[in-house]
Structure formats: structure tokens, C-alpha cells
Amino acid sequence: MITSKQNQLIKKIRSLGNKKFRDIEGLYVVEGIKMVNEAVKLGQKIEYIVCTESARLMLSVENNEIITVTDEIFDYLSTEVTPQGALAVICKPNVKLSSPTDSCLLLDGVSDPANVGAIIRTAVASGYKDLYLVNCADAYSPKAVRTSMSGIYGVNVYTLTHDDVFKVINLPLVVADMGGENVFELSINEKFCLVIGNEAHGVSEIVRKRAQKVISIPMEKGMESLNASVSAGILMYALKNKF
């Protein structure tokens, strides 16, 4: 059992809270009994599983694959308000930037990691497998991973630049914007790339200028907008049903 914060493994795991070290190591952390068990079940490439003695029996892994730590050390590693006592350090998928094979999503400046995670969760649930991020919060940050609720295991996440967008995404861009066409009155008969913009400023001008369609969600008077992840969820399902 590890009891010291000075342990090299503990220092390494702790450093993964920082994007710089996630990128250097090619690793990220998931927390919680359910997310660790699902990582094992879904065959994620796991470097380490760390838990407390009390959480050990709830994990669906062989005991010799688990590193145990004291409650104090786990609290030191955890980013949760109420830690469950289990985490896994997982290898980030080594995905080569490539064009989508089906309808996909482009997040253009989504800055809140909770929104990124929630969008990932809904994307997987509604059948979108390719997710492209430009100037967004890191999809592998603890908050995004936690909000994705294991969705991070089921989507291809690509980080790219605006220049890359127009080279890689070979589908019509369907941009979400308050001034767009009512999505429920829209007719679409081809694969598409749904674009969700920054929470405060919307889709960047460089992307908006290339949009084949601009769409919106009708709302009652007095409501100006919806949360980015809520809007994305409504649009993902609405567009899938029209294709």
C-alpha cells in the first residue's frame, strides 16, 4: 500500500491534472467505480488502477492489477468532491487526424470542459462517432471526462486548427446559430457536420462563412439561448431523425 505523497507514481498521477503532462505522457485519469469498471469492460488500455482498500471489492479486476493507497493519498489524487476511492490511468487513443465516415460534430471554441464532456456523452448516445475540436477545452480533462460518463471511451476525438477543418472535414457544415433556420422545419438528405460554437460568442466567423446551412432551435419569447451542451443534444437528435 502506498502511503506517501512523495511516491513517484503518486506524483505522476497527480501531474495528469495538468493538460501539459497529459499531452506529454499520453495519459488521462478517470475516477469512480462505474467508470473504472467500464474502462476494463470496454477494453481501454489501462496503465494503472489505483484504489483504497474499501473500494477494492467493488472493482471488476484482478487484485494483482490494483495499486492500493490510503484514503489520505486517494483524496490527494482525486478531483471529485466526494471521492469513490477508485481511479484508472488510461492511455489516450492514438488517433490519426482523418476525415469522418459519417455525420460528425465540430466544436468551435467550446470553452467549458463540462459542456465538452456532456456533448461527448450525447454524441455517443445518438450515434456520432467523430468529434473535432478547435480551440476547445481539453476533452481529457478531469471535468470533461467525468461529465462524459464513459462517453469518452466511445468517440474519436480529434484536435485541429481552423485551417485543418477545411482540409479534413469533407461534409456540409451545419452551423448552430440563433438566427438560423428552424431545425424542425429543415430538410436534409446527406451526411453533415454539426458545428457548435463558443458559449458566449458562437461559431467563429471563419467557420460560419463556410456554412452550407445555419440552423436554430425555436424558443418561447423571452428566452435568448440554451446551454451549449443542451442545444447540441437537441440538434444532434433532430438532425439524425431527418437524415
Nearest to 175 by CA among 220, 237, 234, 235: 235
Q: Select from 58, 91, 124 the last residue of a domain.
A: 91
Same domain for 85 and 111, yes or no, is no
With respect to residue 2, please indicate whether it lies within any of the assigned structural domains.
Answer: no
With respect to residue 30, please indicate whether it lies within any of the assigned structural domains.
Answer: yes
Same domain for 136 and 215, yes or no, is yes
Q: Is the pLDDT of residue 111 over 90?
A: yes
With respect to residue 96, please indicate whether it lies within any of the assigned structural domains.
Answer: no
Q: Select from 61, 91, 121 the last residue of a domain.
A: 91
With respect to residue 117, please indicate whether it lies within any of the assigned structural domains.
Answer: yes
Same domain for 238 and 154, yes or no, is yes
Same domain for 31 and 150, yes or no, is no
Same domain for 117 and 181, yes or no, is yes
Same domain for 111 and 157, yes or no, is yes
With respect to residue 33, please indicate whether it lies within any of the assigned structural domains.
Answer: yes
Same domain for 49 and 158, yes or no, is no
Number of domains the chain contains: 2
Same domain for 211 and 117, yes or no, is yes
Same domain for 14 and 36, yes or no, is yes
With respect to residue 188, please indicate whether it lies within any of the assigned structural domains.
Answer: yes
Same domain for 138 and 199, yes or no, is yes
Which structural domain range is residue 232 located in?
104-242
**How does residue 243 score in pLDDT terms, banded at 50, 70 and 90?**
low
Q: Select from 57, 91, 125 the last residue of a domain.
A: 91
How far apart CA 83 and CA 35 sit, in angstroms, is 13
215-224 long-range contacts, CB within 8 A, separation 24+: 215/174, 215/175, 215/176, 215/177, 215/180, 215/181, 215/182, 215/183, 215/186, 215/239, 216/176, 216/177, 216/178, 216/179, 216/180, 216/181, 216/182, 216/183, 217/176, 217/182, 217/183, 218/182, 218/184, 224/178
Summarised one tens digit per residue, pLDDT across range 180-197 is: 999 999 888 889 999 999
- Over residues 53-67, mean pLDDT: 85
List, in order, residues 6 or more apart from 231 with CB less than 8 Å away.
Answer: 176, 196, 217, 225
- Over residues 88-94, mean pLDDT: 95
With respect to residue 98, please indicate whether it lies within any of the assigned structural domains.
Answer: no
Same domain for 120 and 70, yes or no, is no
Same domain for 24 and 133, yes or no, is no
Summarised one tens digit per residue, pLDDT across range 123-174 is: 999 999 999 999 999 999 999 999 999 999 999 999 999 999 999 999 999 9
With respect to residue 34, please indicate whether it lies within any of the assigned structural domains.
Answer: yes
